Amino acid sequence: MCGFAGFLDRSENTSAEDLAVIAGRMAATLVHRGPDDGGVWTDAFSGLALGHRRLSILDLSVAGHQPMLSRGGRYVVAFNGEIYNHLDLRRELDRGGAVPDHPLFDTPAEAFATQAGTGWRGHSDTETLLAAVETWGVGEALKRCVGMFAFALWDRHDRVLYLARDRLGEKPLYYGWQDGMLLFGSELKAFKPHPAFKAEIDRSALSLLLRYGYIPAPYTIYQGIRKLPPGTFIALSARRQDGVPVSYWSAHDVALRGQMQPFAGTEAEAVETLDGLLRQAVAGQMLADVPLGAFLSGGFDSSTVVALMQAQSSRPVRTFSIGFHETGYNEAEHAKAVAAHLGTDHTELYVTPEQAMAVIPNLPTLYDEPFADSSQIPTFLVSQLARGQVTVSLSGDGGDEVFCGYTRYPSAASVWRRIGYVPPPLRGAVAALATVVPPHFWDALFRGVGFALPGGLRAATPGDKLRKLALLLRARQPEEVYRELVSQWKEPARVVRGATEPGTVLDDPAQWPRLREFEHRMMFLDTVSYLPDDILVKVDRAAMGVSLETRVPLLDHRVVEFAWSLPASMKLRDGVGKWPLRQVLYRYVPKELMDRPKMGFGVPIDQWLRGPLKDWAGALLDRKRLKQEGYFNPALVHEKWTQHLAGRRDWSYYLWDVLMFQAWREANP
């Protein structure tokens, strides 16, 4: 796990010394991602500079130093991540005589010093990647790699820069042209030391933040800067700026192929196959030359990962969890019970509200574009806890998207089944009636007749629920129901001044695979949006903020591909998801220890905003300040703030979106 940054100077007039100085400054902003080593490599003739920071995981010697030259001398790479099957690739390369005996370029001999009796300088996966590219080319090498990664690879012969990202988007990569300079890096903060960088806020991207709580790819908070989509690579050069991402693995195609060519075995065979694939993925991700452990929340996903780790380990696996004293937010007791059953070396920390809130001032630095998933706070705390003992931690993220685990999947499908058959004009008329009357009127009406209503209809805020129902009634197709459920601000372009909300995969049917089940279509949309741009961003930045590498076995692409070959009915049973994953876990952990309602990984932001965070939030949401800064419509924001403070509505998600932008902008003027 590392961080890299660099640039390609189209003018090709910058001296080697200046290239190195600037690239060094860019890489220095990423020292948290790589505190163990750093390096810079330049090609002054082409105007290319690479900077790298290293967190040493495999091959702790100088043989793992980056940027790294290929043995043949044609390629140089700055690499972030891990290739879990790199030893298998080495064996395949050795059989084919892949490593050239002589460099193609005049490169210092010490750069190619080898271990006695082998053609390899060390045992890092970075060196394996370079040999794979020299042998098979970039696209084919990527297809053969199993792992999580992002890299910048310079072809010295063709003077082409390749940027690439792993299949599911575990590792980040940003890029963009500014004033004739191609800037790229693992995090946006690395762009700031470059004199060509213009930190101009993209208001349309800001509107996406308000809708989703994150900014979906390819957009970023800055104009002209993009996220490279997962599963793609792009070729760029000083003479050709119009390169487009090329897909080497497509979630769209995987989902479609899986459903068109379904698994033909029995349910028992499916569980057996999944067990084997997960064991393989976990074993590969336990490879490290440094201490390794795992996050353990006590839920199905992390418990499965830990169970398979412990089953393949000769010593107790180190596991970590945090707990909260607030009811409804604590899973630590469940994690402790799972750890005791499996026999792990378990560490837990109960966090006070003061400790949790102390993280908030650091969020604009950890997440260097505004990010509003409040579970970022406990994710940072558990990462910090783990880093005290290990350098690598496995995580259970991805299980919900891969195995149909979110409760919104059966909920949205149920809603559509109830309203989809009603003629659209009738649904529109009912929706209009529900929205023309203010929510507080419905609240008063229901209070007046509440004594006569069944218990299930006595909602605390019936006006809000009717308004949400009205929005769903307007849906023309089921995907619009899903989009409403995952949206926070429903009309964010009205809230952000000067914004036009851009399109994304979530509202573009042309990008959707034709899958029969609505649940599968929602899973696909989460896999290409919420997963890479929220969940994996949250984990990567929180962990790397304390120099901890995280690995996600459930997102091994072989597991994902197999999961897509299973019918929805095998994943979702009686409204409960993850059926095959649950059956695997029951082989290692008793069912009675696991069967309990699903619990999110969050903190009570709604309560904190009315209490200890009230003054902090109030200063950021001050009407005069909002008007002066000019990003938000002060009236719309202030309305929700006052209603939330009064306890009339829970607008915490909406407000957290605005607060995270405000705090981020204050820290990044």
Does position 15 have pLDDT exceeding 50, yes or no? Answer: yes
Mean pLDDT of 318-335: 82
Cβ partners under 8 Å of residue 354, min gap 6? none
- Residue 2 known to be catalytic: yes
Residue 285 confidence (pLDDT) above 60: yes
Whether pTM exceeds 0.95: no
Q: What φ, ψ does residue 624 adopt, rounded to 5°?
A: -65, -40
Indicate if the pLDDT at residue 455 is higher than 60.
no
395 is known to lie in a ligand binding site: yes
Question: Domains along the chain?
Answer: 2-249 (3.60.20.10), 252-405+522-594 (3.40.50.620), 408-517 (no CATH), 605-667 (no CATH)
322 known ligand binder: yes
The two three-digit tokens of residue 279, written as one number: 């064991």
Alpha-carbon distance of 306 to 293, in angstroms, equals: 9
State the catalytic residue, choosing from 1, 2, 394, 663.
2
Question: With 0-12 CB in 10 A as exposed, 13-18 as middle and 19+ as buried, what is 619?
Answer: exposed
Query: How many whole angstroms separate alpha carbon 304 and alpha carbon 398?
Result: 12
Confidence at residue 108, expressed as pLDDT on a 0 to 100 scale: 45
Strand order in 75-83's β-sheet? 68-69, 75-83, 147-155, 160-165, 232-236, 246-247
Rg of the chain in Å (alpha carbons) = 26
SS3 450: helix
> Is 72 among the annotated ligand-binding positions?
no
360 annotated ligand binder: no
Q: What is the pLDDT of residues 182-207, one digit of tens each?
A: 999 999 999 999 999 999 999 999 99
Dist. CA 407–CA 151, nearest whole Å: 36
Residue count (the chain): 669
**Stretch (H or E) spanning 246:** strand 246-247
pLDDT at position 421 is 72
- Can you tell me the distance from the alpha carbon of 635 to that of 609, in angstroms, rounded to the nearest whole number? 19
Reference 434, options 462, 475, 476, 459; nearest CA is 462
Q: How far apart are CA 191 and CA 6, in angstroms?
A: 8
Q: How far apart are CA 29 and CA 15, in angstroms?
A: 22
Contact indicator for 83, 285 with CB cutoff of 8 Å:
no
Residue 219 has pLDDT above 70, yes or no: yes
Assess contact for 13 and 44: CB atoms under 8 A: no
Distances in whole angstroms, Cα of residue 120 to Cα of each of 67, 135, 385: 16, 14, 37
Express each pLDDT in 99-128 by its tens digit.
Answer: 444 444 544 434 444 443 347 888 899 999
Q: Give the number of other Cβ atoms within 10 Å of residue 421's Cβ.
A: 8
